Chains A and B, each alone.
Chain A
C-alpha cells in the first residue's frame, strides 16, 4: 500500500512530462491531416450519423423512453458510446503502449506507468471534444438540459480511475502475454454489448429477467455509462449508491493494478 502512494507521489513529480506527453499525443494524432483538430469533432459527429441511420431508422426500437423518435434514440446511443469509446480505445492503446515505447523504457529513466496514464488522459481529452456535440444536440432535439449536467465530473472521475486501473493491469500483463491484445478486441466487443449502451435498462426483457439484471449490474461499466445517461439524457440524478460502489471497486482495482504493474516493472526493460 505504501508503495502505491510513493508511486503516486513520484507521478506528481513527473506532471510536467505527463502534460507534455499528452500534448504530444494530441498533436501527433492529427498531424498531417487536412482538418487537424477538427477531426476530434467530426469523428463523433459522423459516428452519430451512422448510428442514427442504422439503429434509429432501420432498427427503430419502439420504447417509450425514446418517444419513438429515431433522433432521440440516437442521442441516447451517443451518451453511452462517447464515454465507451474513451474506455475502449484507451484499453486497446494501453495494451500496446509499453511495447511501442520500448526504446524509452530501455534508455531513459522514468516511471513506466506514465505511459498508460498518458494514454488514458489523452483519450479523455478526446472524449471532452465530443462532449459539446451532445450538449448542443440535447436542446436541439427538444430534451431539457438540467443542472445535473454539472454532476458529470463525478462520473468522469469514476471512469478515469476505473479505466486507469484496468489499463495498468492490461499494459503490464501484455508485455508477458502478447495475445492479450487479440483477446482484448473480442472481449471489448462482448463487453460493449453487455453494457446498456445501445439498449436501456428499462427494456422489458431486462426488467423481467433477474439473472440478466444481475449480470448487467455486476459490470462496473454499466453504472458508469448509466451515470452519463442520467446526467445527460434523462436529466436526472444518477444512482449515487451504485456509482459509489463502482468508485470503491475502481479504487480496489487500482490498488491491484498498481501492484501488478509494480511487480512486473523490472522486467519491462528486458521484455518489451
Chain B
C-alpha cells in the first residue's frame, strides 16, 4: 500500500529573461503583447523524471545538495506546486512542516494565530479548541500566548509553528529541514514527536542535510542530484555514496581555488601579509599528497599526508631548519614541528632540493586546516616563511570532535554488550 506515489514527475520553473523582469504593464499594452509577456522565455528543470513511492508507515528520507530539487519534491507532494509532467498521488491527510509559522500575523496574539494557522492547515475550530492546551504546552508558551506574535523570539515563533503543525495529526507528515533551526532543548522534543509518529505507523517524508538524523530515523532514502534520482535504497548505503560524491566535489573546487597560490603566491598584498623573509633559501612550491603519492586536497585520515616542498638555496648555507605548522579554522595550532626541535643538525644546503614531511596517518578531526611551512635559521631568523598559504580538508566517516584524533581502542568487560560498527 503506497501512501505517496510519484510517477515520472518533472517540474520546470519558469525563468523570465531580464527583458521580462523590467517589463511594465504600460509597455506590454503599448506593444500589444500582453499575453506574450506573460509567457516564460525559458524553463529551468528542478525535477527531471523522478519516480519513487513511499509505502504506508515508512519514514522516507530525501537527501541532496542545495538546489537538487528536494524542496520542490516536497512542495509537489504537499500540493503547493503542480508537476509539469507526471503525477503525484497521495493517500491521507497531509501536514507539511515546510515553513513553520508561515502565515502568522505579527499583530495578533499567539492564541488567535493558533486558530487561524490551524484552520489553514485543515483543522476545524472545534478540533483546535480541543488541542489548544496541548499545542501551547508543547510550544512552552503558556505565559506568552496572549501576547502579539511580533513580540516572540524566533525560537518561540518556530516552536509555536511546529506545535501546531504536528498537532494537525496527519497521515502523512512532510518535514523540510525545519529541525535545523530549533534550539538544543526543543529539537529532541521534536524528534521524540516524530518517533511517536513512526510508532503509530504514519508515513513521513523527511528532507534533510543532516545525514545523522536521516540514517537514524529513515527506513529508505532517495538521493537527488540535479533534479534526478541518483540512488534509492538503504539509508546507510545511500548516505555514504552521497558523502563520497560531496567529498569528490569539494576536492574539485579546492583544486580550482588552490591552483593559483600553490605555485607561488603572486598577489603582492598576500605576499607581504602571508609570506615573509629575504629568501636566501626559498620555498618555491608546496604540494600536498596522500601517503600513496596522489595529489589531493581532501584527505581521509587513513590516507596519510605528504607535504612536499621544493627549495632553492640561492647561496650555500650551514644554518637552516625546515618547519611545518597545522592550524584549524579557528586558528588553533594543532601541530607544529621543525627539524631543530627534532634534533636534526643542519650541515649544508646548496642549489635546488626537495623536502618531504611524511605523516603516515592524519589523526585530525573533520574540518579545514591551514598549513604553515618555513625555512629559517637556528635563532628563528626567517629565510622564507609561508603563513597559512595552503589549506586542505579532512573528511572522515567519524564525527569525533576536538583538535586531534588520539589513536585509541574501546574495550568492554563482560555484561556490557555493544555492536561494533559495520565494515
Expressed in whole angstroms, the minimum distance between the Cβ of B123 and any Cβ of chain A is: 10
Whether the pair A108, B120 counts as a contact (CB closer than 8 A) is yes
Whether the pair A109, B102 counts as a contact (CB closer than 8 A) is no
- The interface size bin for chain A is 20 to 34
Q: Does B107 contact A (CB under 8 A)?
A: yes
Q: Does B219 contact A (CB under 8 A)?
A: no
> Contacting chain B: which of A75-83, A173-181, A201-209?
A173-181
Closest to B98 in A: A107
Q: Does A21 contact B (CB under 8 A)?
A: yes
Q: Name B25's contact: one of A21, A183, A264 (CB within 8 Å).
A: A183
Contacts of B83-133 to chain A: CB distance below 8 A: 96, 98-99, 102-103, 105, 107-108, 112, 115-116, 119-121, 124-125
Q: Does A270 contact B (CB under 8 A)?
A: yes
Question: Which residues of B lie under 8 Å from residue A101 when comparing CB positions?
Answer: 103
Whether the pair A27, B112 counts as a contact (CB closer than 8 A) is yes
Whether the pair B103, A108 counts as a contact (CB closer than 8 A) is yes
A177 to B298, CA, bound (A): 48
Q: Does A143 contact B (CB under 8 A)?
A: no
A110 to B80, CA, bound (A): 8
How many A-B Cβ pairs are below 8 Å? 76
CB within 8 Å for A108 and B115 given contacts A31-B107, A264-B38: no
Q: Does B278 contact A (CB under 8 A)?
A: no
CB within 8 Å for A107 and B80 given contacts A27-B112, A270-B14: yes
Q: Does A20 contact B (CB under 8 A)?
A: yes
Q: Name A32's contact: one of B81, B107, B112 (CB within 8 Å).
A: B107
Chain B 367-408 interface 0/1 with A at a Cβ cutoff of 8 Å (1 = within): 000000000000000000000000000000000000000000
Contacts of B144-173 to chain A: CB distance below 8 A: 148
Chain A 235-272 interface 0/1 with B at a Cβ cutoff of 8 Å (1 = within): 00000000000000000000000000000101101100
Contacts of A176-210 to chain B: CB distance below 8 A: 176-180, 183
Q: Name A24's contact: one of B37, B96, B99, B112 (CB within 8 Å).
A: B112
Question: Which residues of A lie under 8 Å from residue B81 when comparing CB positions?
Answer: 266, 269
Expressed in whole angstroms, the minimum distance between the Cβ of B24 and any Cβ of chain A is: 5
A25 to B93, CA, bound (A): 28
Contacts of A102-122 to chain B: CB distance below 8 A: 103-104, 106-110
Q: Does A212 contact B (CB under 8 A)?
A: no
Whether the pair B14, A267 counts as a contact (CB closer than 8 A) is yes
Q: Name A179's contact: one of B24, B37, B80, B120 (CB within 8 Å).
A: B24
Contacts of B1-55 to chain A: CB distance below 8 A: 13-14, 23-26, 28, 37-38
Expressed in whole angstroms, the minimum distance between the Cβ of A257 and any Cβ of chain B is: 15
Question: Which residues of B lie under 8 Å from residue A270 when comparing CB positions?
Answer: 13-14
Expressed in whole angstroms, the minimum distance between the Cβ of A147 and any Cβ of chain B is: 38
Q: Does A17 contact B (CB under 8 A)?
A: yes
A264 to B124, CA, bound (A): 30
Name A's B-contacting residues (CB within 8 A).
16-17, 20-21, 24, 27-28, 31-32, 101, 103-104, 106-110, 173, 176-180, 183, 264, 266-267, 269-270
